[in-house]
Structure 1
Amino acid sequence: MVMAPRLVQSLFAAFGDLYLYKLSKLIFNGQVAKWTLFSQLVNWFMFFCITRTLSNSLETVLTVAGLYYWFAAIESSKATSIVSKQHAACEQSIPSRKVALLIAALSCAIRPTSAVTWLYVSLLDFIQMKSKCCFILLDVIPVGAIVLAVTTLLDWWMYGSWVIVPLNFLKFNLLSSGGDYYGTHVFHWYFTQGFPSMIWTFLPFALCGIVKSQEWRLSGLIAWVLGVYSILGHKEFRFVLPVLPLALMFSGYCLASMSRSKGKNQHRKDSLSRMQPFVILLVITNVPMALYMSLFHQRGTEDAMYYLSKEAHDGRVRSVLFLMPCHSTPYYSTLHYNLPMRFLDCTPSDSKGTLDESDRFLTSPSEFVGEVFGNLSAFSHIVIFESEERHVLQLLLHNSFLEMRRFFHSHFKVDRDLQSAVVVYSRRNVL
């Protein structure tokens, strides 16, 4: 049950790789597609993030697949000349565009902010369309209405009342800037820190590919998405994941152009030897980082949940309190037992300046625990980061809690004090 969602997302990721290859081949050629696939598979952040069960990961796959069908429709209808004519397939124009719209609608249903991408893509082509009314009335409205109706019915079934989740999403994140509650960055963060960290050593190759290919539509899409997301105060790496494959496609274009023989009499072996230093550079600067971030960095919370799941299976866990920032662990998705658990709430308050439970705990750990949870008698296990452990250690010992396991979590801090380990405590009478 724990691995199934990850395996499903891995399957989605594989489809994303396939469609990125097809998109690169459609827009450029087979050689570029091969180097694009190399860039996609080697890039550390793509390796780290695309197989995780995040809505952004699925959004990325849908975006790449949708763009492939969209550009296939453009080529087949001869609307633009950015795609090589040898790939034209006129009979696929209408179905390709409808498939692209369906995928775009699904992407927006999963992540409403995906509309940022599709607004740019659709408007550029809409301006050049001859039958604008037919496109809106026969394509956009029917597909959008069907997807909205299906998702609204699913939400009604799950919530028990009529809820339009995309509308609430936009109201909270865009209109009320609710995301700012969880932290903000400077407006240029995506351009100067976020996206360069994601694309890493592929950045110079991507910039080279943008200039050499002169494929301004897709490079403009990358700049558009980064620019629009920069307006929002709350920023995260994963928010701009959908345009990372496009940047890696330009990296593939640059690598492909570098691998081509400069002269007609130059051997293929010479071309490969010329590319070897660049390939080695990209591999050694990405693969170790990808493995470290995927296998070691911040793994303590998962290890702790696996341990608690095993203990629960053996009947040694009655209830768990997580004295750590909210959503720090996989929670029930890893435990898979119907046990009462409690984590510190971080729901945004309507009143500005009001601290949530997570902030109150970090501000004054011992006082907060005593005030909110009393003698901790309701819990058989407590999970806490090592950085906060020292503040409540005496309180835990006084209430008959003993350390059971200590799991490595991180070698360096990310956005708060170093959380080097996750510690699991258990009450004596449940040992």
Structure 2
Amino acid sequence: MSETPTIFALSSGAPPAGIGVIRISGPQAGAALVALAGRVPEPRRASLARLRDASGALLDEALALWFPGPNTATGEDLAELHCHGGRAVIAAIEGALAALPGLRKAEPGEFTRRAFANGRIDLAEAEGLADLLSAETELQRAAALANAGGALSRQVEAWRETVLGLSAEVEGVLDFSDEEDSADLPECFTWNIGALGQEIADWLSRPRSERLGEGYRVVLAGPPNAGKSTLFNALIESEAAITSPIAGTTRDVIERSVAIGGVPFTFVDTAGLRDGALADEIEAIGIDRALGELDRADLVLWLGPEGEGPQGAWEIAAQADREGFAPKAAARFTVSAATGEGLVALKTALVDDARMALPKPGQAALNARQHARLGEAAEALGGARGLSDPLLVAEELRRARLAFDRLIGRATTEDMLDTLFGRFCIGK
């Protein structure tokens, strides 16, 4: 059986940079240090080394670090070379490593995949790490950090232990089922399953982590010339939409994703809504798309006649700076994108509203896969609660344990792992 290949890759930012960190992981990591640095330094202490290739030519002066496995990030022998971050330096060191027997360049996510395979992290933590690397807002960072730090995994392990305890009670009943005085499940058994099921249901009702990536979707709607595009540009602080006094200037949906106060938003500017019979063919298509966006919105800012917007929309009295401005009696906000009147208050209210709909800061959030697995566990527990036959109850509890195992990666498929770890960069 062939030895596991030793992998290497640049784990710091793309060159040129002040420092380049090249990570080496696998059974030949120590031999790679000897080949380039002439020795293996003291474990977990940075040591200055002159790196040379196979011909003895000097490549760079760098700091070398040695981390013997299995107590490393990947669960195997690990080395790092902290060299100068120029392109030529990085290329030369990587070339020298590639020339060594048993070494090859890492594939995307391969370091993290080895950490998972060697039990250093579980699947939920790996998914949290992937989300952390792609986080662009404070809310995304906080939620991803909670999952990467094992918050979800610890909760799932606690649920699994509870189910194991319930299974033990059922097994105890089954052990006595052949005896003359057969035992019954304890009276509290159904209550305990119900309490666990409710706890899981509370998690399932939380906002999903995908909402953090998509952002809180705010659609600006109303008739032509209501000030939608001007307000849209002011909210995203960019001239993304063309503004004009000519009716029907916005013919299609325009989306922009921005962060306000660390909260991700997707703002959507739409075509002016009016009787389709008065619009040309292209504008009519834009109106149809605008109506579709109203159904997708988390929140609609209605700039049209008061009371004519969709249910739950915020009434916005826009263009407050214009001559002949007609205020709204029940306006949530009166704004002028031209003068800035009311914009700060509107943005603050949007952030507050979005925070209520998105995962809470630092709170572990479920992605679609995790939500589906946890839903399977909840379904199994609900089935067990409605049964009286201990054999059938035991089978439902086994299904719940399997769902937990699949959630954290004790039981999974290679295709799913390929998809997950393919999201990572090469040096991670």
- TM-score tier (shorter): under 0.3
Q: TM-score if structure 2 supplies the norm length?
A: 0.24
Q: Which structure shows the bigger proportion of residues in helix conformation?
A: 1
Structure ranking higher on relative contact order (CA contacts 8 Å, 6+ apart): 2
Larger radius of gyration between Structure 1 and Structure 2: 2
Q: TM-score if structure 1 supplies the norm length?
A: 0.24
Q: Which structure shows the bigger proportion of residues in strand conformation?
A: 2
